[in-house]
Structure 1
Amino acid sequence: MPSKCLKYAACLAVSIPAIAAAQPAPPPGGPPGGMPAMPSMAETKYDAIVEVVDGRLVPSTVAVQLASLSGFAAKGLRILSSKEGVNALIVRGPASDFTLTDPAIVLSGAGTNDFLGTGAGILVRNKARFTLRGGSVETSARISPALVAAEWATVKVHDARLVANGGPLPPGYVPRIGPGMMEPPAPLGLQGTARTVLAMSNSRTYLYNTRIEAKGWGALSTDATGGDLYLEANDCTVLVTGKGYGAYADFGAHVVLNRTSVDVGSDLGIIAGKARIDLNAVRGKAGRSGVMIHSVMAFDPAETADLTVTDSTIETQGPVLLVKSANANITVTGGALKSASGVLMDVRRNDDPNATKTGGKPVPGVTLTLRSGKLTGDVLDSDPDRATTLVLDGASLEGSLRDVVLKADATGHWRARSDSTVSLAPGTPLSAIDAPAGVTVTVTGGTDRRSTVLPSGGKLTFSR
């Protein structure tokens, strides 16, 4: 290690040769769709350079040789490792409350299973509390997250840099979904082999003024949530090069981005099933969609995702909102949403073979509520299994609507920019509808009204 390492009170320089190890096959059985059952962290043997258990350093780790490194804190820790499956730091146990200040952690050895956190830079689990202040954690190998929070852990990160670069897949790797997977599920259309921050099993993670970087796959990810998981980023910078997402909310997760800048190659956010994302004063650019919502392998076809977008500025190449065979409640308040494709929201059938099937049962459908703002973009529904409702609550929209239920209050306003087909929710005034000359709006639903000319010269017609 460089001599400057000696300036720090606690300085650990570890260089371990890389080793080759076969990726273990996932355990048999598990949920529908062939996904294997989750392995247990408690039964997993970890290889940690520094380990803290219930507020005490584990004697078998080399860190115990450093008198200035306690079971409660360390400053200026330097760790460099190329060993496969190694963790730079593990903090676990309900009596642990550990603070790490200004570390420089660099791992280049592959992980073995990121659902277990084997090979993560930092793993916090089993009700431990952990705080990172400053410094950086960078990994450059497959399924090697910079940070994993799991098993009711509470993690806080301030003014740091977290990076997952990923690495090559091993020869003969067979794609899979679930524990042991080394790349995103193929139907997501993503690339990459590592997630930067991975939150699981009822953990609580808070990031402040931190830079989160990934090469593909994802920056802020949730998985195997346990049903009650929370992940929050405040005043952060999220950068994903290649085809990857900024934030993923899996079933049972609540992900919040406040005043955060996001620049990603694919989706700013993804919601899977009954989960929630809140975007507050977010500034984002996405190479594909703003937020994609889908439902896969669910037992309940009525499960519904929640998304709120407040005072955010988001620019996308594809639809700002993409809903694929899923139910969703989406609320947009203020801000500016812009798509190069011209589509604000696209509701379509998911071509993923694991997409949740309705079985002919009625489902809640999709509701997009626009409040106190002026937006431009089309809202399109081609999903045969669910209805889409657009609610204009003191907001205005200019764009085409296709097979959408329109609900507007007295101050809501929609101006069609090409031929559109809608049905009207009870109480929606016809005065909420307008279109320029040459554009026809067809209202379906059993009305006997005659065609009329709209204020801007378009045509309003009625069809049973």
Structure 2
Amino acid sequence: MSFKQRTAVLAFALAIPLVLTTAGPAVADSTRRTVGAGETWVVASTTRLSALTLAAGGTIAAPAGDVLTLTVNGVEQGSKLTATGGTTTAIVPGTYRGDVVVSVTEAHDVSFGGLTFPFRQALFVGPTGVVEARSVRAALLPGGRIVSTGEAFNGVYVDGATYTLKNPRISLKGNGRNDFVGYGAAVVANSGARLTVDGAVIDNQGAVRTGVVADGGSTVVVKNSRIHTADGVLPADYVSTVDTSLMEDVPWMLGLSGNARATNLLGNGTRAAYVNSAISSQGWGVLSTDNGQNTQLASINSSVRITGKDGYGSYAIGNATERFLGSDLDVATYAAINRGGSLYYGDSSTAAVSSVNSSLALGLSASELAGLAPRRTTIDSGKWGIMWHGAGTVDVSGGTVINTKRATFLDKGQQVGITVDGSQGAKLNPADGVLLQMIEDDDPGPQMVDGKLVNSGVYTEPTGVPAKAATFDVAAAHGTDAVATFTDIALKGDFYNAIRGSAGNGKNLVLNLDGGSLAGAVTSATSRHRVTTITSANYQELGVVTNTPGAAVNNGVIVSLTGGADWTVTGTSYLTKLTLGAGSAITAPRGKHLVVTVDGVPAVPTAGGTYTGAVVLGIR
């Protein structure tokens, strides 16, 4: 039976018994209600109508401490945020006919960034079970469906509870408001909740209309599910910002566009796993960590996809650990953005999956583990593989295959650790022939405008020759360098260290080849973007550079060959230190001759030798 068939035949169930109806609480059946211009109707309790007319200039309000939700035939609608950057919603003027229910529920206030977000949700679950006072029963449709066409309405919120959602069908169309708290998300878990989502279909469209949000030390396991988010239309007066209380789109300075990410992992020690699932987003990103510390993310036998022109597979920040086992990533811009995380890409072997299941306490049963066939991880990116705009590491192993149109690894001036083990078939295939590109960070950052952080910065290409850092040793490894170690892998491509540095610092590339082979150039270089200035209008030029090999200034290149590694030099390579271990060799392509100089003096590198200085390898 296929994945689609399996999810189609499962019935909706909840861990805590709950009968889903559209009847709602016992209410008076007033058939019609009209609220005229200048009138205010304060709805004292949940009310069912056959028709509701709200004239322009009229108001429908809830008692103090409560919030209103309008449903028509079980579909939440009519709600709109009262202001761009605001947090409250109001029912918009119009005529609503059918099974019209105006639900009065207790406000579920969540504070963030100096603002208070009064959540409304179809289902609220607390430690003791379903909280009726905070659940909009009228929005719970038969078949486990929750449908919203209004704004900032949530599907399910699980707060501090252990709970299972079986086969929910959630469709939220219309903008959310803030995905750092999940205001407008389909599913949210917070306050140490343990939430299992099995067989879900989530299909959202709208700015920050997130699919799944895990927060507050919770553990969320999503399995056998499909999640997709699509962009919405931002308010006309919205100004792009990195202020997380106001942010509703991805900062373009990352080289991205979009305003809805599929998932977000927040808080301290929070964990989320996606197993045998398909997660996708039109833009921005699919699996994100943000605004937290020491989070854990896992993708097991799942597909991760960007369907639009820009977007990342995952984002790692705040010492996040992200594991991709047997997963397929099909992304537009980056497989991942790393800003302080540890990334792992490998096979979904029985041992690896069992280890993650145990260490993250995912609760997968023996039969579920047995049903996960071992697979390799594949990455197909329309641009780069991993991009760093903060320190972080990546580990590639098993049969992982990374196919990119641009560089496999793009380091924007950061401390980087790269480990690739090719002993089980891992492959790196950059179409442009660049395995590692090191450049200065070209993110121009936001600007302070009228007291607000606005994404209006401009990147300007530096000119002139960088000043030599007087005390920086280009032939020594430093704790802030980029260190890349490749073991038993056949590599084809180039390594460029184009860091400019400054009078006080630099950054070296430390490349270790242990076994295997490399056909390519490894060199210090200068790089140039295709344009001299980059703004939001041409953000896709970020990271796109050409290289000119040259002697190091503050950008040393230290190469070590061990374990019988073989390097075939295909282009002039400027190094600052070369170590050639026993059994290893450096050669020229067939029909060419290798020419090596050290500080301008011809040399013949031999096994066991170390050469320091201006080491230049060329071919003729």
TM-score class normalised by the smaller sequence: 0.7 to 0.9
Conserved? CA contact 2:435–2:494, under 8 Å: yes
Out of 287, 297, 314, which is 1:231 matched to?
297
- In structure 2, the residue matched to 1:167 is 232
Structure with max Cα Rg: 2
Deviations for 1:101-149, whole angstroms, at most 9, x for unmatched residues? 1111000121111111100111111101100000211110001110000
TM-score (norm 2): 0.63
CA gap of 1:243–1:463, structure 2 versus 1, over 3 A, is closer
Shift of 1:426: 4.7
Q: Which residue of 2 aligns with 1:309?
A: 396
Give 1:60 shift.
2.2
Give the Cα separation in 2 of the matches to 1:42 and 1:252. 27
- 2:570 aligned to which of 406, 413, 417: 417
Equivalent residue in structure 1 for 2:418, among 327, 330, 350: 330
Inter-CA distance 433–98: structure 2 relative to 1 (3 Å threshold): same
- Provide the TM-score with structure 1 as the length reference: 0.83
Question: Aligned pair 1:243/2:299, yes or no?
Answer: no
Q: Which of 39, 45, 67 is matched with 2:118 structurally?
A: 45
1:298 corresponds to which residue?
Answer: none
Question: Are the structure 2 counterparts of residues 178 and 55 from structure 1 closer, same or farther at C-alpha, using a change threshold of 3 Å?
Answer: farther
Give the match for residue 178 of structure 2. 113
The residue identity in structure 2 corresponding to 1:235 is N
Alpha-carbon offset, residue 425 of structure 1: 4.5
User: Structure 1 130/443 Cα, relative in aligned 2: closer, same or farther at 3 Å?
Assistant: farther
Structure 1 residue 276 corresponds to structure 2 residue 342: yes
Contact 2:344 2:396 in 1 (8 A): yes
Give the alignment partner of residue 250 of structure 2, picking from 178, 184, 188: 184
Classify 1:381/1:285 alpha carbon distance in 2 versus 1 (closer, same or farther; 3 Å): same
SS of corresponding position for 2:253: helix
Structure 1 segment 46-445 matched on structure 2, within 5 A: 46-62=119-135, 76-93=143-160, 96-179=161-244, 180-202=246-268, 203-225=270-292, 227-241=293-307, 242-272=309-339, 274-280=340-346, 281-295=376-390, 304-310=391-397, 311-334=399-422, 335-354=426-445, 364-384=480-500, 385-403=506-524, 404-426=557-579, 428=581, 431-436=584-589, 437-438=591-592, 442=596, 444=598
Report if the CA contact (8 A) 1:103-1:134 is conserved.
yes
Shift of 1:428: 4.0
Task: Answer yes or no: is the 8 Å Cα contact 1:396–1:414 preserved in 2.
Answer: yes
SS in 1 for 2:282: strand
Deviations 1:346-405 (A, max 9, x none): 0111111349xxx97875210111011111110110013200011011221111111221
CA distance in structure 2 between the aligned counterparts of 1:98 and 1:291, rounded to whole angstroms: 35
Tell me, what secondary structure is at the counterpart of 2:156? strand
What are the Cα deviations for residues 178-224 of structure 1, in whole angstroms up to 9, with x where unaligned?
41212211211111111101001121001100000100110101100
Match of 1:34 in 2: none
Provide the rounded CA distance (Å) in 2 between the counterparts of 1:41 and 1:92: 21
Mapped to 2, the partners of 1:408 and 1:391 lie a distance apart of 6
Aligned positions, number: 421
Q: What secondary structure does 1:19 align onto?
A: strand
Q: Is the 8 A contact 1:418 1:440 kept in 2?
A: no
Specify every segment of 5 or more residues in structure 2 that has no aligned partner in the other structure, as ranges.
1-7, 13-18, 23-73, 88-110, 347-375, 447-466, 473-477, 501-505, 525-556, 608-613
Secondary structure of the residue aligned to 1:170 is coil
Asked if 2 retains the 8 angstrom alpha-carbon contact of 1:23 and 1:112, the reply is no
CA contact (8 A) 2:211 2:227 kept: yes
Q: For 1:404-444, what per-residue CA distance to the aligned partner results, in whole angstroms no more than 9, with x for missing partners?
A: 21111141121111121223355646952112255656565
Give the aligned CA root-mean-square deviation in angstroms. Answer: 3.1
Matched-pair contact (CA < 8 Å) for 1:58–1:64: no
Residue 25 and residue 428 in structure 1: after superposition, are their counterparts in 2 closer, same or farther (change >3 A)?
farther
Q: Give how far 1:244 is off.
A: 0.4
Distance 1:19 1:63 in 2: 17
| Matched letter for residue 397 of structure 1 | L
| Per-residue deviation, 1:447 | 8.8
CA–CA distance in 2 between the matches of 1:409 and 1:173?
55
Structure 1 pair 176–97 and aligned structure 2 pair: CA distance change class (3 A): same
- 1:42 and 1:128 map into 2 onto residues whose CA distance is 23
Counterparts of 2:497 and 2:583, CA distance in 1 = 21
CA deviations 1:138-179 (Å, max 9, x no partner) are: 110001110000010100011000111121111011110141
Q: Secondary structure at the match of 1:201?
A: strand
CA distance 1:243–1:283, change in 2 (3 Å): same
State the SS of the aligned residue for 1:277: strand
Any conservation in 1 of the 2:411–2:438 contact (CA below 8 Å)?
yes
Aligned mates of 1:339, 1:195 — CA distance in 2: 26
SS in structure 2 of the partner of residue 224 of structure 1? strand
Instruction: State the SS of the aligned residue for 2:291.
Output: coil
- Secondary structure of 2:262's counterpart equals strand
> For the residues of structure 2 that align with 1:233 and 1:178, how far apart are their CA atoms?
29
Give the corresponding residue for 1:33. none
Q: Contact 1:57–1:63 (CA<8 Å) still a contact in 2?
A: no
CA contact (8 A) 1:11 1:76 kept: no
